[in-house]
Chain A
């Protein structure tokens, strides 16, 4: 079954304690990205990756890091989480039709993060 998985689904942590949210897809997609969803703001892109070892900032990258060492995995790293990073996070993947265009996005189930 084609899917995007994220772990953990729920996480409560404290300010400053480094954490990683994993994301994995089994569709051999080149493109992967991370979004955060906040009430009234919709989804905002944090980082994206066009392929292995190719990552770039989205609209709200501050306080986040990513890596893309393998095609299937795209972890999101919060080196020193702060309460304003409390949010619902989604990983997504898609095929690339050509530069600048992605195909349908496949979303993971989400990770609800609370930073105290």
Chain B
């Protein structure tokens, strides 16, 4: 069975400083991994995804994530935070053996707070 753990429920950074949102996963197969962002009162939007190509994945709005198989991690980073980055972020793993037809398992989310 697959699982995903977002290590921080809340992260607070100052505007202009780097962002690090941590995600660890477990999977019996070669997983696909996603990061989604949810702004207040909005649906989830795909930030980036890893599907066994390059291990460093670049997404929208300057975010990127690195797939590290040896560490079973898929941490999300951004060099310089912007006020508009304040949102909830979800790490998602897709594993053929997972539940449901899509095998998607969502992390519980990390709330990113940007201090002015």
Mark A residues whose CB is within 8 Å of B: 4, 31, 33, 40-45, 48, 50, 56, 58-59, 90, 92, 94, 100-102, 104-105, 107-110
Q: Which residue of B lies closest to A40 (CB)?
A: B108
Query: Taking A42-B109, A43-B90, A100-B96 as contacts, is the C-beta distance between A105 and B42 under 8 angstroms?
Result: no
The secondary-structure label for the interface of chain A is strand
Contact across chains for B108 and A45 when beta carbons are under 8 A apart? no
Pick out which of these stretches binds chain A: B17-25, B43-51, B77-85. Answer: B43-51
A50, B44: Cβ atoms under 8 Å? no
Given contacts A110-B42, A110-B43, contact A105 B104 (CB under 8 A): yes
Residues of A within 8 A of B90 (CB): 42-43
Q: Is B43 within 8 A of A42, CB to CB?
A: no
Q: How many residues of B contact A (CB 8 A)?
A: 23
| Residue contact B96 to A101, C-beta cutoff 8 Å | yes
| Known A33-B100, A59-B100, A100-B96: A42·B46 in contact at CB below 8 Å | no
Given known A-B contacts A33-B100, A90-B44, A100-B101, A42 and B94 have beta carbons under 8 A apart:
no
What is the CA–CA distance of A47 and B72 in the complex, to the nearest angstrom?
29
A60 to B58, CA, bound (A): 33
**Contact status B106-A43, CB under 8 Å:** yes
| Known contacts A42-B90, A43-B90; is-contact A104 B103 (Cβ 8 Å) | no
